[in-house]
A and B are shown apart, each in its own frame.
Chain A
């Protein structure tokens, strides 16, 4: 079928007007072989159907839509002005962070730390076996789980898979590793691939890989160091994009509100939309952004450190908005964030922070440099 909307529309209209050339008539016939297209053609040809659709159209008044649009636009430009103001704040923030890193004991002298309750994430996760059974993974001592062809050794925040040498490969059995908010977990798959899952993420993978390819399914954020195997390509699938790996290290983050971010640190990967067929090759140092609203993928050269700092136990913010920052902190410390004033979401910050610090320290540092007040109760942070 011809995939050009404007050409097909023009062809249909010519057909209604009875102005098709012989060639176009043949094209039209081919088009109408599709049952849905035939139905559409008949419906548009029916006066009553058109009247019904026009009534629906009349329900969306362009003038009202435009007024709403103007309102949204004004709200947005107000936020812009706040962001401009916040540039100064973000410089202060950076200075504040440096001071605070140099003076690590600074907060301990304050009175506030007594009531600190939000401890950062630790190595907590759940492993779901192919039988459906769930195991809680924590920092407790070594434990072996045997299933099918494989064996998993779980020890100190890491699960390591190995495949029995003697048993022949049977059907693929899948495990799912769930890392809740406030957790993280490391994993070594049967082929030697190393994966570090960030908080609020989920990975589904076979206990032992098939002969033809290696495929895993990801929701959330993970760092991959894929073991080289030219015989069996490695795929990472997400709801939005599909990555083909040619032996490499990279990070994928599907948490983003605007975009799914894929960063390549070394080696080579190919990326495509889950629903598309075109594949783009990425080079080290490149960031691929899958835009959630347009559905397009764009590429940029970036400082990869910002995107992978989390795996080395750091937060690295660089002109990120408060909304993005608190969302990430929320995932890591397992707290919910509530903005009382929506315009504060757009304020931008930069700075390096230690991931294993207490959240109160991080929030105090932000308050100290910007004056934004946070109220913490139970597992909720309210931005005043």
Chain B
């Protein structure tokens, strides 16, 4: 997937490119919102609202980082607003409300967490084919033995693939690939 196409989808309102925007951000934003509101359905609704808002707004994003930051920020704000509105007794909110100082740091660290996870998750698709299958099956919940059987490889190979894949995901440097591809779960 081309970063330029993400920006084009948002800035030029190209509807046909929006599936890529979803592939790029959707899961991460939902996950980020869920950590705040503690409800995956609400989280999804909030993210839908935000993306619709972005679709309608006239703002142009020059750099992909600007868009990424904006989306996390909007998700954070929407989620906090929802919490306030619900007068939810969520521990997280109480903590945020009580201490005025560290709340920004905490939000910042949570954003870092989500952004790291988002990038790592996207890179799964760039792994060599067999490694990628091992990771995808692990995510689906298959055991090492089941994966070994399905792929017709040894249990030890599966374990090695897994270990090596996670290491590669972590070590893959952003910027080494400006173009990368994503599988869509079109079903």
Contacts and interface: CB of A to CB of B under 8 A. Distances in A.
A302 interface: no
Given A62-B184, A72-B52, A10 B174 contact: yes
A13 B112 contact: no
B166 A295 contact: no
A300 interface: no
A294 interface: yes
Interface in B27-65: 27-28, 30-31, 34, 40, 44, 47-53, 55-56, 65
Given A6-B65, A294-B73, A295-B73, A63 B185 contact: yes
A295 B112 contact: no
A53 B68 CA distance: 20
Interface string B3-36: 0000000000001001100110011101100100
Given A58-B140, A76-B52, A292-B81, A50 B169 contact: yes
Interface stretch (B114-122, B125-133, B147-155): B114-122
Contacts of B138: 51
Which secondary structure dominates where chain B touches chain A?
A: helix
A257 to B, nearest CB: 11
Interface in B79-127: 81, 84, 103-106, 108-109, 111-113, 115-117, 119-121, 124
B48 A293 contact: no
A36 B109 contact: yes
Chain A, interface size: which category?
35 or more
Nearest to A1: B105
Contact of A13 (B22, B52, B171, B185): B171
A56 B49 CA distance: 21
B187 interface: yes
Contacts of B173: 13-14, 17, 19
Q: Give the 8 A-B residue pairs with the shortest CB-CB distance, closest first.
A: A62-B22, A17-B171, A295-B77, A16-B170, A57-B27, A60-B30, A60-B27, A66-B22
Interface of B: 15, 18-19, 22-23, 26-28, 30-31, 34, 40, 44, 47-53, 55-56, 65, 68-70, 72-74, 76-78, 81, 84, 103-106, 108-109, 111-113, 115-117, 119-121, 124, 135, 138-141, 162-163, 166, 169-175, 184-187
